[in-house]
Amino acid sequence: MCGIVGYAGPVDGVDALGVVMEGLRRMEYRGYDSAGIVVQAQGALAARKKAGKLANLEELLSLDPLPLAVTAVGHTRWATHGGPTDENAHPHHSADGRLALVHNGIIENYAALRAQLVDEGASFTSETDTEIAAHLVARAYDEVGDLTEAMRLVANQLQGAFTLLALHADVPGTVVGARRNSPLVVGRGKGANFLGSDVAAFIEHTREAIELGQDQVVTITCDSIEVIDFAGAPATTRAYHVDWDARAAEKGGYPNFMAKEIDEQPRAVADTLLGRMDQRGHLALDELRIDASALRSIDKIVVIGCGTASYAGQVAKYAIEHWCRVPTEVELGSEFRYRDPVVTAKTLVVAISQSGETMDTLMAVRHAREQGAKVLAICNTHGSTIPREADAVLYTHAGPEVAVAATKSFLAQVAACYLLGLYLAQLRGNKFEDEVRAILAQLARVPDQIQQVLNSMEPVRALARQMADARVVLFLGRHVGFPVAMEGALKLKELAYIHAEGFAGGELKHGPIALIEPGLPVFVVVPSPRGRDSLHGKVISNIQEIRARGARTIVIAEEGDDAVRPYADTLIQVPRTPTLLAPLVTTVPLQVFAVELAMAKGHDVDQPRNLAKSVTVE
């Protein structure tokens, strides 16, 4: 949600416009509906902004070029206050045009601040909450004569979530930023420095980054980076190296990023599992810096996440309860703190977020810690807020995920949850060491099994193209197949914009069967016949029930499961895996189906309508 880029380069360096526009292109995946850029040149500011995609801004720049500059700020906006119009696009200016500012987030007290400014004679050209920040920072600068101090003073007046970046015509070669509850990272270059919503903004130029903490102000020039907190004191930061390069965030010959990222899933899972054994053959999670005695004493686990991450948590619940015998709940991050949850010092809260900036999940993390719980983050993004505020972090190593809808990050999150469950089982004595090693060996084979699934997906693609006119698709599953069904439905909603729902197979006769009508496509995720109790037979009964009412059954079952053949209009086979690990292979056909159907409908699968990659406001 919203992409921000700031650049301060040397006087004899490259044109800032190109650097910032490239950064905005690399962050298009975050979701946006307008774009703008401002440069500082010849003692003045010059800006261009346009509603719509970045191509609209590029066309405007070709017709009305900006002057050469070595300092610039760019922004892609996802509308909150005010519609996606040219007037509401960022940057926004002070009344005298000497200051320009861009903003990610929501300023919750903007109405009171705007009313105060209007009373003092200010006029506004947009409907945004951002424009009040431009007026306030400009006024503070006129009073104190220092842009960093002006930003600090204003940041203390604002409530809500925000990242602010500002340029001033009187302060050449300088970009000043501030962050609260919204992402901002620094890129340290050679003779140039960068600011961005994430490292994708500057990965083309440097892989050396600096984490900014909560409530900090940063000032960059071509040769300096200074960080203070909102109280004005020097702030502590942490430098880190980004372990992927610009090529990882490029399509590499694929029609879209989503197709590429689906194909990268074997590597994403393998890298998440890599290096997790110590010299004694024990599972070792070095990032898990929570005291072992605290982990042994936990009596409840609460997994929190939003969207796809919450479905990864649903899979985790089955595995953790089975391996560890610890009661495990799964909560939506957006609901957790509003229902007065019961968490104590003996509760472990596991927060799952690809970006590490998901605002609902971040607020849930803060609430859990206030109640005394230990918090473990499962995250794909180094330097992000949720891992920094958690007690410990287990990083997935999926690499950059550019497409808005999650694919490889989901499988990596599930794999990380398995590692956590096995680690706790080993630590608490629920599993013997040889049992843990045996399951890890099974996990190690899964990346090759995912590749086998990917190699056999052409019939699924053909099926999706045939079903491009479908208006409703249902998904059924049981046990770990239930969250897989819900994730399959979510992917179809996100990408194809058609109604899709995932149901637990056992609930079919309690209402959902009323939806079945002749020709209705229903995906059924069938558990292994070698699995728990009699679930396999029960799911076959579900298939018979819906088929008898005319449904078109599309069945995902493991190789060798011949019992389902008579009841499947379409059979999709996946390699045999242990029951708890099955989501790593059964999810893949549903991803491929959703992408192909959406493409057949002519949709942009990387940037679905109304969606943003990182939801940084509640």
Q: Are strands 225-229 and 238-241 parallel, antiparallel or unpaired?
A: unpaired
Q: Which of 407, 468, 444 is nearest to 260 (CA)?
A: 407
| Residue type, position 322, single letter | H
| Residue type, position 20, single letter | V
- Cα distances from 277 to residues 83, 427, 454, in angstroms, run 52, 14, 28
In DSSP terms, which residues pair with 369 in a beta bridge? none
| Residue type, position 172, single letter | P
- Cα distances from 584 to residues 241, 257, 555, 566, in angstroms, run 29, 20, 16, 26
| Residue type, position 263, single letter | D
Sheet holding 185-188, edge to edge: 44-51, 34-41, 71-77, 3-8, 193-196, 185-188, 208-211, 238-241
Cα separation, 65 vs 324, in Å, equals 62
Per the structure block, which two tokens stand in for 413? Answer: 């999150």
Cα separation, 158 vs 107, in Å, equals 6
Q: Which residue has the tokens 């879209």?
A: 256
Max Cα-Cα span within the chain:
80
In DSSP terms, which residues pair with 107 in a beta bridge? 160
| 373, 347 Cβ separation under 8 angstroms | yes
| Residue type, position 536, single letter | H
| 287, 395 Cβ separation under 8 angstroms | yes
Q: Which residues are catalytic?
A: 2, 613
Q: Which of 425, 463, 422 is nearest to 443 (CA)?
A: 422
Per the structure block, which two tokens stand in for 181? Answer: 């509850």
Per residue, the 3-state secondary structure of 93-113, as one string, reads ECCCCCEEEEEEEEECCHHHH
Contacts of 249 (CB under 8 A, 6+ apart): 26, 200, 203, 400, 402
Cα separation, 485 vs 525, in Å, equals 7
Per the structure block, which two tokens stand in for 566? Answer: 């008579």
DSSP annotation of 558: E
- The size of the chain, in residues, is 618
Per the structure block, which two tokens stand in for 423? Answer: 């680690």
| 453, 574 Cβ separation under 8 angstroms | yes
Cα separation, 530 vs 532, in Å, equals 7
